Amino acid sequence: MDARGTKAHFLLGPMSLGQIRDSVVGFFYRKLLKPIFFLQDPEKVHDRMVTVGRFLAFSPLTRGLSGLLFGYQHPELEQEITGLRFKNPIGLAAGFDKEAFLPGILPSVGFAFEEAGSITAQPFEGNERPWMWRLPEHQALRINYGLKNSGAVNIHKRLAGQKFGLILGISIAKTNSERTSHLAAGIEDYLASYRMFQDVGDYFTINISCPNTCEAKPIFAEPENLDQLLQKMFILPKHKPVFIKLSPDLPEPQLLGILKLGQKYPVDGFVCTNLTKINSFGHQGKGGFSGKAVAPLADAMIAKVYRFYGGKKIIIGCGGVFSAQDAYKKIRLGASLIQLITGMIFQGPQLVGEINRGLAVLLRRDGFNHIGQAIGADSRV
């Protein structure tokens, strides 16, 4: 390499080239694709994105090209958690890939893990439409799918025996139907999916916090009901980690009741949090809010859960992550891993690489040489 080339390489460095790539992709997404997407029905755009993802997952060439556009790895971001090796802390939250069509392509986008689902024992065609609204002025979405999915049997059949290049979480929820509104029927419904997915996926998340079901309130967020569910669940042999996904709207005593169950049973951790019902925007209609509506509530809950267990349970932070700073805040409050959806819809798929790259910079800025040192730094007393 000549002197000029060396200098240019030194100035740009491989990291800066990656930053340039992310800026170009992000600019292209925000200025060209997003304005077109945001003129169209959000559900249709979502379905089309999943179709594109399935197509890209199909061949090594398209997977490789996607990897060139999005990937970023750094040893400081790798973690071993509950016996699973996470290449970086960023995962796709439950609800984007309801049918688990995307584990083949998500590693090329830079995700280390995804939570597929939520999957329910019986198929459900979804609540009455519409299911999704964009609230760009609030950097949020309003969601009312109500656990639409084709059911545990169908999804399991398709995934069984496959191997994936990322950590696959299976989010299971109770079928959204009055038939499962009674405690015993509800428990049996969860257990049917739990048993079925023993041989598929790397961890479970028990979703007890969907705000859009036929019940006025999620019944398994009541500690006495959850107690009975966990009792039955943990009688069965435990082959993989189990997380519980919390609502950001839980009143303090209810949250404490749930956290105490985390001491009674071998729960590995908590996903903080699901959508919020708190309508701080004055938006009319059904559904729960994502994005920036959730962020402060999720952050507060991460800190509470971290302090309750003294950092001994794993926290997956979720809600309103639009940047490396947002993710880093959750990590410093106590999250070991981060999930997102809304940030990617508003910022573009390069966000995953941007966050990972930005996290490496923020860790070094604060004198950490591994992400593990930053987890809970702001919640320790």
Ligand X SMILES: Cc1cc2nc3c(=O)[nH]c(=O)nc-3n(C[C@H](O)[C@H](O)[C@H](O)COP(=O)(O)O)c2cc1C
How many residues in the shown chain lie near ligand X by CB under 6 A? 28
Contact call for residue 81 and ligand X (CB under 6 A): no
Contact call for residue 371 and ligand X (CB under 6 A): no
Q: Which of 259, 315, 324, 340 binds ligand X (CB under 6 A)?
A: 340
C-alpha angle 82-87-93 in degrees, rounded to nearest 5: 75
Nearer to ligand X, 102 or 318 (CB): 318
Contact call for residue 122 and ligand X (CB under 6 A): no
CB of 161 to ligand X, least distance (A): 24
Residue for token digits 């950092």?
Answer: 311
Residue nearest to ligand X (CB): 95
DSSP alpha helix (H) spans, the chain? 3-28, 34-37, 42-56, 60-70, 106-109, 152-159, 183-196, 223-233, 252-264, 295-309, 324-333, 342-347, 351-365, 371-374
How distant, in Å, are the alpha carbons of 74, 273, 336, 350 from that of 81?
A: 17, 19, 8, 25
Rounded distance between C-alpha atoms, residue 354 and residue 367, angstroms? 20
Q: Which of 167, 294, 333, 352 binds ligand X (CB under 6 A)?
A: 294
Nearer to ligand X, 322 or 368 (CB): 322
Nearer to ligand X, 255 or 275 (CB): 275
User: Quick one: which of 16, 27, 17, 104 has its CA closest to 59?
Assistant: 104
Nearer to ligand X, 144 or 368 (CB): 144
Nearer to ligand X, 275 or 314 (CB): 275
Rounded distance between C-alpha atoms, residue 154 and residue 58, angstroms? 20
Q: Which of 171, 176, 247, 356 binds ligand X (CB under 6 A)?
A: 171
Contact call for residue 93 and ligand X (CB under 6 A): yes
Nearer to ligand X, 89 or 291 (CB): 291
C-alpha angle 362-366-367 in degrees, rounded to nearest 5: 115
Q: Are 155 and 119 in contact (CB under 8 A)?
A: yes
Measured in residues, the chain has a length of 381
CB of 314 to ligand X, least distance (A): 16
Task: Tell me, residue by residue from 219 to 258, as one string, x for binding to ligand X by CB under 6 A and - for no binding.
Answer: --------------------------x-------------
CB of 168 to ligand X, least distance (A): 15
Contact call for residue 141 and ligand X (CB under 6 A): yes
Site residues for ligand X, 199-218, by CB under 6 A, read 207, 210
- Binding piece for ligand X, criterion CB under 6 A, among 16-24, 68-76, 91-99, 250-258: 91-99
User: Quick one: which of 79, 105, 77 has its CA closest to 92?
Assistant: 105
CB of 291 to ligand X, least distance (A): 4
| CA dihedral (90, 91, 93, 97) positive or negative | positive
Q: Are 244 and 264 in contact (CB under 8 A)?
A: no
CB of 10 to ligand X, least distance (A): 37
Q: Which of 25, 81, 90, 94 binds ligand X (CB under 6 A)?
A: 94
Contact call for residue 274 and ligand X (CB under 6 A): yes
How distant, in Å, are the alpha carbons of 97, 142, 149, 208, 310 from that of 94?
A: 7, 15, 12, 13, 26
CB of 64 to ligand X, least distance (A): 27
Contact call for residue 320 and ligand X (CB under 6 A): yes
CB of 109 to ligand X, least distance (A): 15
The DSSP symbol for 151 reads: -
User: Quick one: which of 317, 290, 295 has its CA closest to 371?
Assistant: 317
Maximum CA extent, the chain: 74
Q: Which of 145, 203, 308, 328 binds ligand X (CB under 6 A)?
A: 145
Cis peptide before 181 (omega within 30 of 0): no
Q: Which of 18, 89, 95, 241 binds ligand X (CB under 6 A)?
A: 95
Interface residues with ligand X (CB under 6 A)? 93-95, 98, 117-118, 132, 141, 143, 145, 147, 171, 207, 210, 245, 274-275, 290-291, 294, 318-321, 340-343
